[in-house]
Amino acid sequence: AWLSLHWLILPRLDEWRPQVEAQASRALGVPVHIGRIDARSSSWVPAFKLHDVVLRDSRGLEALRLPQVTASLAVSSLLSLQLRFEQLLIDGARLEVRRDAKGRLRVAGIDVDGEAVGSAGDLADWFFAQHEFVIRGGAVRWVDELRGAPPLELADVQLVVRNRLNRHDLRLDATPPTGWGQRFKLVLRARQPLLAQAGDWQRWRGTVHADFPQVLVQQLRRHVDLPFSLTQGEGALRAWADF
């Protein structure tokens, strides 16, 4: 398997880009385009880079853009013949999360609440089985058609997800738009049941820590329903929650 990977597959990986795009499109249920694939096989565990990866939603609109993805295969991937990575590093990701008028949620064009929930569950199982997932300098755009609120965009998004056996650690740092407040942080530490699937996050148990140094209420209430009556104000929030 190692010889085939280094001598037959990696040198011709970009030639097989159309087949990789087609397989990824079938797996995710949305069109996937990859600009170029570069491979490096100078070590025991090979690595490769994907350039200009774009996912489009059912309307043909761009839902996710990944300018560069660096992937290092895990040794267990070579032994088990399953696609697992030691690290997935993404620079400059541009992601759209949309809730339509019927309340269904789409992440990067993938319907996670509707008919495609099965494939979304398979994707979650695969994602939370990877060792480390890192996003640097990303951006997230939240579109809420159900509420009718203006789009919300988070800048300089830094995300780190580490998965080890039945443990999952996540940290998110992001900067809200001007007039919303200051940069905030979310940290999650969770464990999944011993026999549960990796992507069955509804069964996880753990702790979430949120740190919002500054929040402007008049902006926040345009996107969420507050549990109290307040039209304007400014404050800070630091909280720990067990789930």
- The DSSP string of 90-111 is EES-EEEEEE-TTS-EEETTEE
User: Helix H segments across 142-224?
Assistant: 217-220
Helix (H) or strand (E) holding 215: strand 205-216
The pTM (predicted TM-score) of the whole model is: 0.76
Dihedral sign, Cα of residue 153, residue 154, residue 156, residue 159 = negative
Maximum average pLDDT range among 48-52, 74-78, 81-85: 48-52
φ, ψ (nearest 5 deg) of residue 148: 75, 20
φ, ψ (nearest 5 deg) of residue 72: -115, 120
Please determine, for residue 190, whether its predicted confidence score (pLDDT) is greater than 70: yes
Please determine, for residue 236, whether its predicted confidence score (pLDDT) is greater than 60: yes
Neighbour count for residue 50 (Cβ, 10 Å)? 22
Which residues have CB under 8 Å from 89's CB, separation 6+? 69, 70, 71, 134, 136
pLDDT band at 169 (very low <50, low <70, confident <90, very high): very high
Which of 224, 218, 219 has the alpha carbon at shortest distance from 146?
Answer: 224
- Chain centroid to CA 31: how far? 17
Which of 42, 44, 130 has the alpha carbon at shortest distance from 87?
Answer: 130
What distance in Å separates the CA atoms of residue 125 and residue 200, rounded to the nearest whole number? 7
Please give the pLDDT value at position 230. 77
Please determine, for residue 74, whether its predicted confidence score (pLDDT) is greater than 90: no
Mean pLDDT across the stretch 170-179? Answer: 93
Q: What percent of the chain has pLDDT over 90?
A: 31
Q: Which two tokens stand for residue 221?
A: 């209430």
| pLDDT tens-place string over residues 97-134 | 888 888 888 887 777 665 444 455 666 777 888 889 99
Report how many helices (DSSP H) and strands (DSSP E) the chain contains, helices first. Answer: 5, 13
Q: Which two tokens stand for residue 172?
A: 């998110």
Neighbour count for residue 112 (Cβ, 10 Å)? 17
φ, ψ (nearest 5 deg) of residue 6: -80, -35
3-class SS of residue 226: coil
| pLDDT tens-place string over residues 4-47 | 666 666 677 778 889 888 877 876 777 889 999 887 765 666 77
What distance in Å separates the CA atoms of residue 143 and residue 161, rounded to the nearest whole number? 24
